[in-house]
Amino acid sequence: MHSAVSSPAPEWLVVPEDANDLVPAIWPASAHRDADGELVVGGVPAGLLARTYGTPLQVLDEGEVRRRAAAIRSAFDAAAEAHGTTARVYYAGKALLNTSVVRWVTEEGLNVDVCTGGELEVALAAGADAGRLGFHGNNKSVPELERAVEVGIGTVVIDSEIEIERLAAIVSRTGTTQRVMLRVNSGVHAETHDFLATAHEDQKFGTPLSLAPGLVSRIREIEGLEFVGLHCHIGSQIFGVAGFRESAARVLDLHQELLAGGDVPQLNLGGGFGIAYTRVDTPEPIEDLAQGIVDAVAEGCAARGIRIPALSFEPGRAIVGNAGITLYEVGTIKDVALEQGERRYVSVDGGMSDNARPALYGAQYSARLASRAGEDAPVLVRVVGKHCESGDIVVDHEYLPGDVAPGDLLAVPSTGAYCAPLSSNYNHIARPPIVAVRDGESRVIVRGESLDDLLARDAGIER
């Protein structure tokens, strides 16, 4: 039925035996079909969610977020303990930030990493202990730094020389002492399946390794700044330990050099642990990654004859990515004849405003019928949104049952990370609510936007 020659499907996409299947790696563990074939997540049927809250709808499985947060924490704890050190896990809030998620992850024992004053306020509004927050960013403003110091933030990750002086002025004015790290650019840049190591990485974050000793000396001169160690983050959606290993080796050379001038008790190796978005993605289990990275650091320290520092990590996507799904309603369907074969375009009621990742990064996703199981043989589809833009793709390539029809609910899994945070109001489409599900219950954790919200900032409307 689908010969390879006439199909516009990419090579990696296999025709599934069952186009209603739910591949475990890309769904929350709670996801299953009930006896009628309807998708159930967190104990709540997809149809009920759509009727209660409308579509599009972002659904977040609270149990899955908690389970992943706890699993990552214990994976790093165990790996660190085996080498006589400790590991602290910061949830990278940029992946998905609201007060509920902050409470879940902190209750599971995580710290939180924020990268703007706005993210800091969300974490504080959730009641997070400021001492357990880390503050990043390549361009923190003076008011942002003042606020962070004032609330007693655990660590400020200094990104540049200018920031040292900004912080110096603040701590001298307020008479406080602020713990700081220095973000370095190790020259290692990781892509999903690969990494590149260069002498000079061409990007905006951190300071080159060669400049770091001078900057750390400067930090150590300032009375109100306590230098605790180096920070390095090599990228996102990384699948193996090789990039982390190379980066750790480079950073440890510097770490060792800095020990000559005083204590360097900590080392933060960032986040970036990859997840599966489609059935062909095979990230390493987090336990293996944690062990591989911590072993590499321990070996590097042993080889240099130095004590292994207290470690920290900053996963975002690995905690929330697979815990989120987006529900859409199918609106229109059309078959488009191509030079070879044809493609069925399935349009849904959201799109690049609720998930910009396909348009921004060419990200691949999967989709499944959610309101029911389909009956017909699989057909190749492209799920697209309702925006006035041809790049408005939700799922570039997928097989769905051939009887997919207007009014069906579609679920796109693995949308828990970097979808809501990157959402927009393009074409004046309201941002969807975020609903948490757990043990058969659902509740709104971020309300959806209304028409009033969409008009609220237009100064030309008389009120």
**130-149 footprint of ligand LLP as x/- string (CB under 6 A):** ------x-------------
Partners of 184 in the beta sheet?
207
Q: Would you say 346 and 381 are in contact if contact means Cβ atoms under 8 Å apart?
A: yes
Question: How many Cβ atoms from other residues are within 10 Å of residue 410's Cβ?
Answer: 29
Stretch that binds ligand LLP, among 89-97, 245-253, 332-340, 407-415 (CB under 6 A): 89-97
Residue 315 near ligand LLP by CB under 6 A? yes
Footprint on residues 294-313 left by ligand LLP (CB under 6 A): none
358 binds ligand LLP (CB under 6 A): no
Q: 33 or 94, CB closer to ligand LLP?
A: 94
**Going residue by residue from 374 to 413, which x/- string records binding to ligand LLP, judged by CB under 6 A?**
----------------------------------------
Answer for the pair 156, 180: CB distance below 8 angstroms, yes or no.
Answer: yes
Return phi, psi of residue 139, to 5°: -145, 60
CB of 95 to ligand LLP, least distance (A): 5
- Asked if residue 272 binds ligand LLP (CB under 6 A), the reply is yes
| Residues 369, 383: Cα–Cα separation, whole Å | 12
Residue among 346 and 352 whose Cβ is closer to ligand LLP? 352
**Catalytic hit among 115, 232, 301, 388:** 388
CB of 99 to ligand LLP, least distance (A): 19
- Residue 250 makes contact with ligand LLP by CB under 6 A: no
Cβ atoms of residues 256 and 304 within 8 Å: yes
In the complex, what is the shortest distance from the CB of residue 285 to ligand LLP, in angstroms, rounded to a whole number? 15
- Strand pairing category for 266-268 and 225-231: parallel
Task: Candidates 13, 57, 95, 96: give the one binding ligand LLP (CB under 6 A).
Answer: 95
Query: In whole angstroms, what is the distance from residue 125 CA to residue 2 CA?
Result: 53
The size of the chain, in residues, is 463
Smallest gap from residue 113 Cβ to ligand LLP (A) = 6
- DSSP helix, strand, coil percent of the chain (3-state; round to 5): 35, 25, 40
Angle at 125 between CA 120 and CA 129, to 5 degrees: 70
Binding of residue 314 to ligand LLP (CB under 6 A)? yes
277 class by beta-carbon count within 10 Å (0-12 exposed, 13-18 middle, 19+ buried): buried
Instruction: Single out the residue of 106, 74, 107, 79 nearest to residue 90, CA to CA.
Output: 106
Asked if 298 and 74 touch (Cβ cutoff 8 Å), the reply is no
Interaction of residue 317 with ligand LLP, rule CB under 6 A: yes
Shortest CB 168 distance to ligand LLP, Å: 23
DSSP 8-state assignment for residue 216: H
Smallest Cα–Cα separation from 274: which of 234, 315, 303?
A: 315
Task: Indicate whether 224 belongs to the interface with ligand LLP (CB under 6 A).
Answer: no
Angle at 185 between CA 113 and CA 180, to 5 degrees: 45
Can you tell me whether residue 463 is helix, strand or coil?
coil
Q: Applying CB under 6 A, which of residues 53, 91, 104, 273 lies at the interface with ligand LLP?
A: 273
Q: Does 357 participate in binding ligand LLP (rule CB under 6 A)?
A: yes
The nearer residue to ligand LLP, 192 or 256, going by C-beta atoms, is 192
Question: Under 8 Å CB-to-CB from 407, ≥6 apart: which residues?
Answer: 329, 330
Question: Least distance in Å: CB of 223 to ligand LLP?
Answer: 27
Give yes or no for residue 233 binding ligand LLP (CB under 6 A): yes
Q: Which residue is nearest to ligand LLP (CB)?
A: 316
56 preceded by cis ω (within 30°)? yes
Active site residue 388: yes
- How many residues contact ligand LLP, by CB under 6 A? 20
Options 22-30, 74-82, 231-239, 330-338: segment touching ligand LLP (CB under 6 A): 231-239
CA pair distance 6, 48, nearest whole angstrom: 39
418 binding ligand LLP? (CB under 6 A)? yes
* Closest CB to ligand LLP among residues 230, 379: 230
Ranges of beta strands (E only) in 68-114 are 87-92, 111-114
Q: Could you say whether residue 350 binds ligand LLP (CB under 6 A)? A: no
The site for ligand LLP (CB under 6 A) is made up of: 92, 94-95, 113, 136, 233, 236-237, 270-273, 314-318, 357, 361, 418
Q: What are the catalytic residues? A: 388
